[in-house]
Structures are given as C-alpha cells and as structure tokens.
Amino acid sequence: MDVFEAISGRRSIRKFKKENVSDELIRKVVNAGIWAPSAGNVQAWEVVIVQDEEKRRKISETAYMRDFIAEAPVIMVSCANMERSSAVYGARGMDLYCIQDAACATQNMLLAAYALGLGTCWVGSFDEELLRDLIDIPNILKPVALVPLGYPDEEPYPPTRREPEEFIHMEKFD
C-alpha cells in the first residue's frame, strides 16, 4: 500500500470482529514499530502484547469503560522506557524523547496494521496505576497508549481535519 494512502485511509476502529489475529501478523505490526525513528536510535520503547481474554477485559476497565477495547483479540500496550532514554539524555530523555520514541513506534504500528487489513485505535484515556498493576509495568516505563488490534467491523467516516491555512505558519508564528 502506498504510504499516502495508509496515512489518509487509516481510521480509529472501535468495533472489531471476533476473528483472531495470527502471531505472524502481530509480529509484522510490532516490527513496523521497531523501524520508527528514535532519539539517538536509543529505541526507548517497549510493547506488551495482551491476548488473554480476562486480562483484556480488565485492561478495558482501566480505560474508563471502553468495552470495545476488550472486543479486539489483541491489546498492545505501548510504553515509553524512561530509564533507557534518560541514561543517555538526562531530563530531556526522561520527559520528552522516550515519549516521542513510543509515539513514533505506535503510529508506525497503526499504519502497518491498516496496510495489513487490520484495525486499531490509539487509546490514551486510561488509569495508569491500575494498568501498571494489571500487567506489571515497572516504574521505569510509562504506558503511553493502549492499542486494540483486530479485524475491523466498521468503516468510520473520516473525522474532519483543520484546514492547512489554520496551522501552517510561514517563517514565523502568526
């Protein structure tokens, strides 16, 4: 798939079929994350793949009752590795670069999933502490996104975007 088609055609999917996603496809999606840019190529990013049904249900409850999350056969929990980035970049690594590394990797996974016929949704609204306890995320990591992954059971209409003139600023911020 053409990269521009992937960028504009990807939608947040909030309704999934029951069908499982093969390990091979999950691996392809994660592999796309691995190839994201990262500050100094430190790759301060980790991902937890959750397939267990009971765990998925509990994770969805940390996300403020978003039942659709548990309906996907896979939840990928994308985490910034603060320790890895701060070891090289100090405070900037801790507060910024590791989050950016994780965000780049996550976006790559969303695009790769779409190119493979799969659906995802970036879910940022969850209780971090509850999630940590559920899947043993240590303090050196910060969970950045829950990403349910599965075969889409909807074709959402593209939400509107801002007009370029509104956010492009030539030469200076005006």
Ligand X SMILES: Cc1cc2nc3c(=O)[nH]c(=O)nc-3n(C[C@H](O)[C@H](O)[C@H](O)COP(=O)(O)O)c2cc1C
Query: Which residues bind to ligand X, rule: CB under 6 A?
Result: 11-12, 14, 121-125, 156, 159
State the minimum distance, in angstroms, from the CB of residue 140 to ligand X. Answer: 21
State the minimum distance, in angstroms, from the CB of residue 12 to ligand X. Answer: 4
Contacts for 93-98 with beta carbons within 8 Å, 24 or more apart? 93/39, 93/42, 93/44, 97/38, 97/39, 97/40, 97/42, 97/44, 98/39, 98/44, 98/45, 98/142
Query: Can you tell me the distance from the alpha carbon of 165 to that of 171, in angstroms, rounded to the nearest whole number?
Result: 14
Tokens 């267990």 found at: 52
Residue with Cβ nearer ligand X (4 or 172): 4
Residue with Cβ nearer ligand X (23 or 127): 127
Residue with Cβ nearer ligand X (23 or 67): 67
State the minimum distance, in angstroms, from the CB of residue 41 to ligand X. Answer: 24
Residue with Cβ nearer ligand X (14 or 84): 14
State the minimum distance, in angstroms, from the CB of residue 89 to ligand X. Answer: 22
DSSP string, 20-57: ---HHHHHHHHHHHHTS--GGG---EEEEEE--HHHHH
Residue with Cβ nearer ligand X (73 or 152): 152
CB atoms within 10 A of CB 34: 13
State the minimum distance, in angstroms, from the CB of residue 35 to ligand X. Answer: 20
